[in-house]
Every structure is written in C-alpha cells, then in structure tokens.
Amino acid sequence: MTKPLFAPLDIYHDIASRAAALNMAIDEALLEIATGPVIRFYKWDHPALSFGYFGKFADVANHAGQRDVVRRWTGGGIVFHGDDLTYSIVIPVSSGFFAESPKKIYAAIHSALCHALKENGAAAALAPNNSSKISDLCFANPVLADVIVNGRKVAGAAQRRTRRGLLQQGSIRDVDHTDEFADQFASKLCSKCYHKTFDERLIARAHEIAEQKYGAASWLQRR
C-alpha cells in the first residue's frame, strides 16, 4: 500500500463526452482555478488523437479525416483516444507535493495506479528506464515509471509545469478493470476524496480556451 499523496483530493467524473479541444481546455481551466489537488476522469465524443506540445502536425495530419486531432499543452507522443480511460491531475503550487520533482510526481502517481490495477488482478509494475525509441506512438515506448503489464505499456502520461501548478494528463488502456476503477485509483492517491461537479463558469472559461487555443489551426499546426 502506498502512502496517499494528497489530503484532500477533489474528483470530477466528467460524464459528458466532449470534443478533443474542449477536453484539453477543461484541463487548462482547472489548472487556472484549482486551490487544491484535483483529478478529472473524462471521455471523448468520438475517436480522437492527441499529440504532445513538441510534436509535428505532419506526423498526425493523415489521421485528421478519421479522428478529432488536438495538440496537447503537455509533452509526450501520439495517443489514440476512444477506448481508453483518460484522466488529468492538477497539483496547484500551494500543494506541498508540488515541491517534488516532476519525475518523482510522475512515478508516485503511477505507483498509486499500479496498486489499483493489482487490486483488479493485473500484474502491474513500473517500467525501468528504456532509452530506445520505437516510434512516435506513446504506447509503443515505455519510459521510466510508465505502467506495464507483462512487459506491455498500459498507462502513460505527460506533464506541464507552470507558475500556477502542475498538470499531468494520462491514459490507461488495454487492461481489464471495473466501472469503479476510477474511484479505486483516486483512493490510492488520497484517503479523503470529494466528488465535485463543474460549475458554469469553469465550462464557460474552457470554451474560451478551446476557441482561442486548442481549436485553432494556429495551435494545431504550430510545428
């Protein structure tokens, strides 16, 4: 059993299926306003693809006709969305855990995820360091502290650190889990979890960010 990372933790089960640009914008809006640690679980309104801030649009352009393509604010590689369990974690600068290094935060969150997967019968473990890159596909390249099951990557994430706090966006796939798994994962992060719902102001702010940033060709095709 890992030691809880947060006390307390707000949980948002975003049951609405949303466009890729709006999903990214909600995560950024949460980072703007969060006063304590937050985890959000969310869905996609149709098959999507996200790629990292430093990625090249040319590498994903051929998918634009079949998927909702969006550039993330976080780093990392190409991730296909639709059947995965997607989450974001916001750690505001006021949280004590923010003082830890990004690598330690990454590993600690994935360690909690491993424990939740083990409770569901999966032989989950943290990946050792692997410097070899197979492709630009995120799930083809386990890196240090990614989650693997039988040598296969099932969970990865990417981060963005700002003066407001840290945003980690993650994806879990190709592993069996129950409908209650999201709450199991959250409970490994914190022993005092509180379920929240979005207010209209946050969603309105997210729509602004989506229009100005994630839904704009200038952002999508900036590289």
Just list the catalytic residues. 138
Q: Classify residue 134 as left (phi > 0), alpha (psi -120 to 50) or beta.
A: alpha
Closest CA to 17 of 68, 90, 79, 91: 68
Neighbours of 133 (CB within 10 A): 10
Contacts of 93 (CB under 8 A, 6+ apart): 163, 164, 165
Please give the full DSSP string across 102-118, using - where no structure is assigned. HHHHHHHHHHHHHHHHH
